[in-house]
Amino acid sequence: KETKLWGGRFEESVTDAVEKFTESVSFDKALYKQDIMGSRAHATMLASQGLMSESDRDSILKGLETIEGSIEAGEFVWRSDREDVHMNIEAALTDLIGEPAKKLHTARSRNDQVATDFRLWCRDAIDNIVISIRRLQISLVTLARKYNSLIIPGYTHLQRAQPVLLPHLLLAYVEQLERDSIRFLNCRANLNFCPLGACALAGTGLPIDRFMTSEALGFTAPLRNSIDAVSDRDFVLEFLSANSITAIHLSRLGEEWVLWASEEFGFITPNDSVSTGSSIMPQKKNPDPMELVRGKSARVVGDLVTLLVLCKGLPHAYNRDLQEDKEPVFDSVKTIIGMLEVSSEFAQNISFNAERIRKALPAGYLDATTVADYLVKKGIPFRTSHDIVGRSVAYCVAKNSQLQDLSLDELRAINPVFDEDVYQYLGVENSVKNFSSYGSTGSECVAGQLQYWVSKLGI
Ligand code: ARG
């Protein structure tokens, strides 16, 4: 067996079970790029501070280049007896270039190394997520544009409420995704501070330049406190919280589209390319991708909870427990990107059944609130007008008709304030036309929103 990099004080090697249990290279090898980046910056800084010769630095940089190439070519042999990504790369570098490699870990610990790698990794992941969010926003805005005048029933409590323009609802998701995006970018800015040089926990007496490595790695500044730098994973908690909130938004989108694809709603028809069938029922066509978007949000939330519980009881500074922080983050990122991409594809592959929706619109007295507003315009206090329209609805329910079918005499029998012009407020089209407040579902307001997003997204 090879002696461990930390083997100096040990007389026995670890048992196979312990080795297997404690290794992390099987998953943290995903950090190889960031680890090599960090080592490059570190070696360069050590040389510039006189802690390493320029020729040692050059052989380290060259060796790292070779190792990176062999990892990317799939030729690198990851060894679990070398524990993690950090020691695999350092040991491979020693195999490759010999003595100079032994200087690389000067004024560095795996504790600050892993914290640095992981912040770099999360930073890249955030950039990718933000791109996927944009893609989904574009798909939704494209859909909103295509159906820019389609009126659908708006719901509260999943009961018919008021008529809304379809683009208004679609743009609600776009707004939510925009806040998600901003949340990710805030999280990126918060985590973009450099732990490197904090060493094990206390820093070092060697004359390193932490500002130099921080800058080389694109961080805003080095973290001020070395104990904080190696101990905390709050940046991960924040990141997974952002993932969870986005996952919840997508889950709601999934739920809505699953409902809309049902026979009962029949608002949308997904293309075959985004549907799956049943192994027993030959007629079935299911919206599985959006069901799984809803389902996978559970994993993303679960990953956050794993991290919260992981961190809860840890004394300062580094604890090996923290090695458990990687897999939930990898899982969460892979899942959220999949959810965003599939939602986007689904949006590109559905059609709205305008005819079916139109036929469904008269039911549910969607124009009732508009009529109440009409009475307010006639000088009736809102509470009174609410009551008048409520009684009108009850009258319609009893005779199984719509408000717009009532004659002026019938309306006047309920309250004499009704006038001929009430018919300009009745029915869903009139009702939508009547909305005018900022942010409302009125045609002009929605057109304005649509224009805002089209130009913001550059489509
Ligand atoms: N594999 C470890 C992790 O992911 C790296 C840091 C190990 N540090 C240590 N002192 N054992 O957290």
* pLDDT tens, position by position, 133-161: 999 999 999 999 999 999 999 999 999 99
Tell me whether residue 168 is one of the annotated catalytic residues.
no
- Mean predicted confidence (pLDDT) in 433-455: 96
Pocket test for ligand 1, best of 111, 113, 316 (most atoms within 8 A of CB): 111
Tell me whether residue 278 is one of the annotated catalytic residues.
yes
| CA of 118, closest atom in ligand 1 | 4
Q: Is the pLDDT of residue 120 over 90?
A: yes
Q: Look at ligand 1, atom 7, and give the residue with the nearest C-alpha.
A: 110
pLDDT of residue 256: 97
Q: Look at ligand 1, atom 2, and give the residue with the nearest C-alpha.
A: 323
Q: What is the DSSP string of 156-218?
A: ETTEEEEEEEHHHHHHHHHHHHHHHHHHHHHHHHHH-EE-TT-TTTT--SS---HHHHHHHTT
Q: Look at ligand 1, atom 12, and give the residue with the nearest C-alpha.
A: 323
pLDDT of residue 394: 96
What's the pLDDT band for 415 if we cut at 50, 70, 90?
very high
The whole-angstrom distance between residue 244's C-alpha and the CA centroid of its chain comes to: 7
Give CA separation, 124 vs 39, 191, 218, 242, 459, in Å.
18, 12, 12, 15, 25
Q: Is the dihedral of CA 304, 310, 313, 316 positive or negative?
A: negative
Catalytic hit among 157, 407, 437, 455:
157
What's the pLDDT band for 287 if we cut at 50, 70, 90?
very high
Question: Residue 320 C-alpha to ligand 1 middle, in angstroms?
Answer: 6
229: Cβ–Cβ under 8 A, 6 or more apart, which residues? 112, 115, 195, 198, 222, 223
Higher pLDDT among residues 344 and 284, named by residue: 344
Note the pTM of the prediction, 2 decimals. 0.95
For the beta carbon of residue 34, count every other beta carbon within 10 angstroms.
22
pLDDT of residue 7: 86
Kindly provide the b/e burial profile for residues 204-228, where b requires at least 16 CB atoms within 10 angstroms of the residue's own CB.
Answer: beeebebebbbbbbebeebbeebbb
ipTM of the complex: 0.97
- Mean predicted confidence (pLDDT) in 103-107: 98
Q: What is the pLDDT of residues 349-395, one digit of tens each?
A: 999 999 999 998 999 999 999 999 999 999 999 999 999 999 999 99
pLDDT of residue 281: 86
For the beta carbon of residue 377, count every other beta carbon within 10 angstroms.
11
Pocket test for ligand 1, best of 14, 105, 109, 110 (most atoms within 8 A of CB): 110
- Mean predicted confidence (pLDDT) in 410-432: 95
Q: What percent of the chain has pLDDT over 90?
A: 95
Kindly provide the b/e burial profile for residues 118-157, where b requires at least 16 CB atoms within 10 angstroms of the residue's own CB.
Answer: bbbbbbebbeebbebbbbbbbbbbebbeebeebbbbbeee
Q: Look at ligand 1, atom 4, and give the residue with the nearest C-alpha.
A: 323
Catalytic hit among 26, 149, 273, 278:
278
Question: Residue 340 C-alpha to ligand 1 middle, in angstroms?
Answer: 32
| CA of 110, closest atom in ligand 1 | 6
Question: Residue 323 C-alpha to ligand 1 middle, in angstroms?
Answer: 6
pLDDT of residue 174: 98
Token representation of residue 74:
């799939």
pLDDT of residue 214: 98
Strand 221-222 vs strand 193-194: parallel, antiparallel, or unpaired?
Answer: parallel
pLDDT of residue 1: 79
Give CA separation, 295 vs 66, 243, 290, in Å.
42, 14, 8
Pocket test for ligand 1, best of 35, 121, 199, 320 (most atoms within 8 A of CB): 320
Nearest to 322 by CA among 334, 333, 332, 312: 312
Question: Residue 103 C-alpha to ligand 1 middle, in angstroms?
Answer: 19
| CA of 84, closest atom in ligand 1 | 1
Rounded CA gap, 318 and 232, in Å? Answer: 8
Give the 3-state secondary structure of residue 14: coil
Question: Residue 38 C-alpha to ligand 1 middle, in angstroms?
Answer: 15
CA atoms within 13 A on the CB side of 321: 17
Is the bond preceding 317 in cis, omega lying within 30 degrees of 0? yes
The whole-angstrom distance between residue 312's C-alpha and the CA centroid of its chain comes to: 24
Q: Mean pLDDT score of the chain, rounded to an integer?
A: 96
Q: What is the pLDDT of residues 44-81, one digit of tens each?
A: 999 999 999 999 999 999 999 999 999 999 999 999 99
Question: Residue 322 C-alpha to ligand 1 middle, in angstroms?
Answer: 7
What's the pLDDT band for 167 if we cut at 50, 70, 90?
very high
Q: What is the pLDDT of residues 290-336, one digit of tens each?
A: 999 999 999 999 999 999 999 999 999 999 999 999 999 999 999 99
pLDDT of residue 170: 98
For residue 302, the one-letter residue type is G
Rounded CA gap, 193 and 195, in Å? Answer: 7
Counted residue by residue, the chain has a size of: 459
Instruction: Give the residues surrounding ligand 1 with Cβ less than 6 Å away.
Output: 24, 28, 84, 110-111, 114, 318, 320, 322-323
Token representation of residue 287:
């919206």
Question: Residue 295 C-alpha to ligand 1 middle, in angstroms?
Answer: 33
pLDDT of residue 8: 87
Extended strands (E) in 197-310: 221-222, 268-270
Pocket test for ligand 1, best of 29, 84, 325 (most atoms within 8 A of CB): 84
